[in-house]
Amino acid sequence: MWRKAASVGGLTLVSRAFGFVRDVMMAALLGAGPLADAFMVAFRLPNHFRAIFAEGAFNAAFVPGYARALTKEGEAAAKEFAEDVLAITLTAQFVLLILAMAFTPYVVSALAPGFSDDPAQLSLTATLTRITFPYLLLISAMTLVAGVLNAHDRFAAAASASILLNVCMIGALLCASWFPTVAHALAWGVLVSGFAQLALVWSDLLKAGKRLSLKLPRITANVRSFLKGFGPAVLGSAGVQIAMFADTILASLLPTGSVSYLYYADRLYQLPLAVVGIAVGTVLLPELSRRLAADDKAGARDRLNRALEGAMLMTLPFVALFAAAPEPIVAALFGRGAFDAAAVAGSAAALQAYAVGLPAIVALRCVTPAFYAAGDTATPVKALALATLVNIALKLALVGTYASAGLAFATAIGACVNVALLSWLLRGRGGFEPDRRFVINLLGYGLATVASIAAIRWSLAPAAELKGLIPAFPDIAPAALIGVVGLGAYGAVALPSLLLARRAAGRTAR
């Protein structure tokens, strides 16, 4: 399981490296002004719908259904199921695309009401959205093909697809002089990447000796089962996106740049989520599905424990870094060109608030697949509904005083509520039981995080003296020292915990 997760995580890390280059270029060329805010909204719109109708929700219903058809009915039945779902997906996405193109200004006004007072800003955002929105149809088809590949233990192509998004956007930035604005170039880069990502996974499907044909939509027994699970999963994904819509709506009402502050903070806290949480969740879903189908509940519980402890081991160093030194990190990564000191401070405040919920957000990627693998897509929706209410209530309460940082903190608390509810419910039905190794490791990682935060705080003063050591990148040396000190302190405390937990597990086994 971890070898597969490492493959997905490694490719995701490559994607994030390209994404970092992209974001550095975007920060330098766009900054955090009106043009950047317009692109951020245009980029978020198809991605909000992508997160609702594709990715998590789609995989939650499709991968277990495809695996069941493959195991019980054979390759031909699984292929037929995938083709039927593809036909329904493309039809639904085409209708949504037509509606979005026809009513783009109204959609933008609903998502970013603060733009309605500026006709030029609204018009620019609507234009950019019409360019980016077809990306949703392409990426939805890509997600289905990736689901087929994942069910056959082929993860590399799907994990590599996001690299193409960043490469295309970097290419668009390099060609920005050919477009009316940098934002227009980025929007076209997003659309081109949709074609590239679909072509990549489709070619890997053919390489695997499999093929999907386009056909008219049909509602078969397997498709009905898929739709029955897909509906609650969509509601669950919609709950997350409603909270994110609330972020965009409220941030658009704040001073110019607030939407961008959230974007750049989100990019940083998404690094451990993508490299660790999403990688583990992607591999864990088919793993748990196969074990539960074979009635191996003990094996499924063991895999979930190992996934959680490994995910926490790799996530908590980021928590320490983002909580104790957000400003030096943001300054080192983005603080150049049009990304001024105010943008650094605003993004750093949001990043520090996000850090509170980072362990919960990553843990959700491990806990939620345990429900999906058992064919239960409804329970996560119920837990998410309560968490979303808490999230939005806190946003409304905090935005006036803490601006974009308040919005980020509300997201963090909502994630904590969500994972606590799901863990409690899963444990009640016997799907999760923390074993001795997990408990020892979690306590050790917690102490390591505290030690890391203390060490980072201590290093801030000597690190500040290194500012300007590398003239071209004045903030890199301080951030590097802070990172080395923090990681060293974390490892010094976490390593004994790992050894102790392994010995305890060995004694228990004997």
Containing 88, the helix (H) or strand (E) segment is helix 75-102
In this prediction, residues 266-290 reach a mean pLDDT of 77
Amino acid 421: pLDDT: 93
Nearest to 277 by CA among 303, 321, 300, 311: 311
- Which tens digit of pLDDT belongs to each residue from 490-507? 999 988 877 776 776 555
Cβ proximity of 52 and 183 under 8 Å? no
DSSP 114: G
In whole angstroms, what is the distance from residue 148 CA to residue 456 CA?
44
Amino acid 497: pLDDT: 75
Report residue 51's pLDDT band, with 50, 70 and 90 as the boundaries.
Answer: low
Query: Percent of the chain at pLDDT above 90?
Result: 18
- Which tens digit of pLDDT belongs to each residue from 4-32? 666 666 777 787 788 778 877 887 777 66
Q: Say which range, 186-195, 234-243, 336-345, has the weakest mean pLDDT.
A: 234-243
In this prediction, residues 447-462 reach a mean pLDDT of 94
Containing 116, the helix (H) or strand (E) segment is none
pTM strictly above 0.85: no
In whole angstroms, what is the distance from residue 360 CA to residue 418 CA?
8
Cβ proximity of 252 and 118 under 8 Å? no
Amino acid 474: pLDDT: 82
Query: Percent of the chain at pLDDT above 70?
Result: 89
Q: Is the pLDDT of residue 239 over 60?
A: no
Which of 397 and 160 is assigned the larger pLDDT? Answer: 397
At 83, list the tokens: 């083709």
Report residue 509's pLDDT band, with 50, 70 and 90 as the boundaries.
Answer: very low
In whole angstroms, what is the distance from residue 466 CA to residue 464 CA?
5
- Which tens digit of pLDDT belongs to each residue from 158-175? 778 888 988 999 999 888
In this prediction, residues 335-357 reach a mean pLDDT of 85
Nearest to 328 by CA among 446, 448, 473: 473
In this prediction, residues 95-104 reach a mean pLDDT of 86
Residue type for position 118: D
At 466, list the tokens: 């290194």
Report residue 241's pLDDT band, with 50, 70 and 90 as the boundaries.
Answer: low
Amino acid 507: pLDDT: 55
In this prediction, residues 433-447 reach a mean pLDDT of 88
Which of 325 and 248 is assigned the larger pLDDT? Answer: 325
Q: Is the pLDDT of residue 367 over 50?
A: yes
At 457, list the tokens: 């705080």
The dihedral over CA atoms of 365, 371, 377, 379, expressed in degrees to the nearest 10, equals -100
DSSP 275: I
Q: Where are the alpha helices (DSSP H) in 295-378?
A: 297-324, 326-334, 341-355, 358-373
In this prediction, residues 272-294 reach a mean pLDDT of 76
Instruction: Give the chain's mean pLDDT.
Output: 82
At 247, list the tokens: 């972020």
Instruction: List the domain boundaries for the chain.
Output: 2-434, 435-510
At 370, list the tokens: 């345990």
